[in-house]
Amino acid sequence: MAHGAGGKASRRLVEGLFAPLLCGNSREPLGDAARVEIDGIPMAMTADSFVVKPLRFPGGSIGELAVNGTMNDLAVAGARGHSMVVTFVLEEGLPSSVLEAEVRAMSSALRRSGVAMVGGDTKVVERGKADGMYITTAGIGRPLPYLRVDARSVRPGDKVLLSGPIGDHGITILLARGDLDLEADLRSDTRCVLPLVEALGQEAGPGVRWMRDPTRGGVATSLNELARDCGLGICLLEEEIPIRDAVRGACELLGLDPLHIANEGQFLAVIAPEYADIALNALNNTPGGEAACIIGEVRKEPANAVLVSTQYGGSRIVDMLAGDPLPRIC
């Protein structure tokens, strides 16, 4: 299961098996979407699968997640989604009303993000095999002309920007499963981040070095990947990281680190210092970006790692997630 949790094991699977055998000698760092050129026309491409349980949760559902997630992978690669295809893997006996609700959820998400669904496929598997339904998508888009993101362009002194509060999605799902007997006024943050990315690109395009949407494995995993790809240290100030009280409370109770919790509507960006204020203003002035803030900066040390410091002078390394986050006993 750890190989699918978005942390270390996932990365090892991709870098140790999939990429070398399937992608040949490509030296491009692994991103959320790949850049391809067809007859000189640059494009961005991505694929994603959605296996969330429960299918519906406060603030969203698997269908909405599938559209937003695909568009977000393209957006943080600096591209505007153009069209997508979808595959439904349905469990035998799934009520048609459930399926219809998800298709409707996808339809409104498509309308909101301005992307076209151009094809798809359906498979049905035996009862007990697919937790209701799995959705797989692929998306294609055009690179935004004013954005060129690459981990290798990140330099010491660059600022780390976060679009809003973290952990809402992961904790919402954890609570929605109902195993914990915990309740909180919390909703998934699933949304398409393209409008924010576009605002950022238009105002601060040349200063944007790298972007990522911190989904599975959370902010810690995304930033650890960046640290390894650029060989530098990512230093965060704990007090600057926006986290809702409900998320903090649940994490404190369960012994989880909010930095490891999944998000579906936020993104991280590394910005050249001279563009940091402009970038922050651009996000703060765009609807949905009011809570964006600078949470840290890039330094030479500790190389290849993420360090979180507190106001009182204590600090800790935050690694990628190893496997799924497991609640502590006491």
Partner 1 sequence: MRYVDEFRDPELITKAAEEIRRLAEPERHYRIMEVCGGHTHAIYRFGLKDILPDNIELIHGPGCPVCVLPMGRIDDGLDIARKNDVIFAAFGDMMRVPGAHGSPFEHKARGTDVRIVYSPADALQIARRNPDRHVIFFAIGFETTAPSTALTLMRAKREDIHNFSVFCNHVTIVPAIRAILDSPDMRLDGFIGPGHVSTVIGCRPYEWIARAEGKPVVTSGFEPLDLLQSIVMLLRQLRAGEAKVENQYKRVVPWEGNRAALKAMAEVFELRPHFEWRGLGFISQSALRIRKEYAEWDSEQRFDVLETRVADPKAAQCGEVLKGVLKPAQCKLFGKECTPEHPIGALMVSSEGSCAAYYNYEYRKTASLVTEISSVA
Taking CB under 8 A as the criterion, the residue among 157, 249, 273, 288 binding partner 1 is: 249
By CB under 8 A, is residue 23 in contact with partner 1?
no
Taking CB under 8 A as the criterion, the residue among 133, 219, 255, 265 binding partner 1 is: 255
By CB under 8 A, is residue 1 in contact with partner 1?
yes
Strands (E) in the chain, as ranges, are 34-38, 41-50, 56-57, 60-61, 79-91, 116-125, 133-143, 159-162, 208-212, 233-237, 268-271, 293-299, 306-309, 315-317
By CB under 8 A, is residue 237 in contact with partner 1?
no
> Which CB atom, from 243 or from 279, has the smaller least distance to partner 1?
243
The piece of 74-82, 121-129, 248-256, 261-269 that touches partner 1 (CB under 8 A) is: 248-256
> Which CA distances in Å does 274 have to 16, 145, 208, 223, 247?
38, 20, 11, 21, 33
306 vs 90: CA distance, rounded Å: 40
66 vs 110: CA distance, rounded Å: 10
**Residue 211, helix vs strand vs coil:** strand
Place of tokens 């909010």: 258
CA 196 to chain centre: 14
> Which CA distances in Å does 271 have to 156, 275, 301?
11, 6, 18
The piece of 13-21, 142-150, 261-269, 276-284 that touches partner 1 (CB under 8 A) is: 13-21
By CB under 8 A, is residue 309 in contact with partner 1?
yes
By CB under 8 A, is residue 305 in contact with partner 1?
yes
Nearest distance from C-beta of residue 257 to partner 1, angstroms? 8
By CB under 8 A, is residue 15 in contact with partner 1?
yes
By CB under 8 A, is residue 302 in contact with partner 1?
yes
Nearest distance from C-beta of residue 3 to partner 1, angstroms? 8
Say which amino acid occupies 85.
Answer: V
By CB under 8 A, is residue 248 in contact with partner 1?
yes
Peptide bond connecting 54 to the previous residue in cis, omega within 30 degrees of 0: yes
314 vs 330: CA distance, rounded Å: 23
Taking CB under 8 A as the criterion, the residue among 37, 39, 179, 183 binding partner 1 is: 179
Taking CB under 8 A as the criterion, the residue among 104, 129, 152, 316 binding partner 1 is: 316
Per CB under 8 A, contacts with partner 1 among 186-205 are: none
The piece of 59-67, 211-219, 241-249, 272-280 that touches partner 1 (CB under 8 A) is: 241-249
Taking CB under 8 A as the criterion, the residue among 145, 180, 284, 285 binding partner 1 is: 180
Tokens of 64: 């909405």
**Residue 317, helix vs strand vs coil:** strand
> Which CB atom, from 82 or from 248, has the smaller least distance to partner 1?
248
Residues that bind partner 1 (CB under 8 A): 1-3, 8-9, 11-13, 15-17, 179-180, 228, 245, 248-249, 252, 255, 301-305, 307, 309-319, 322-323, 326-330
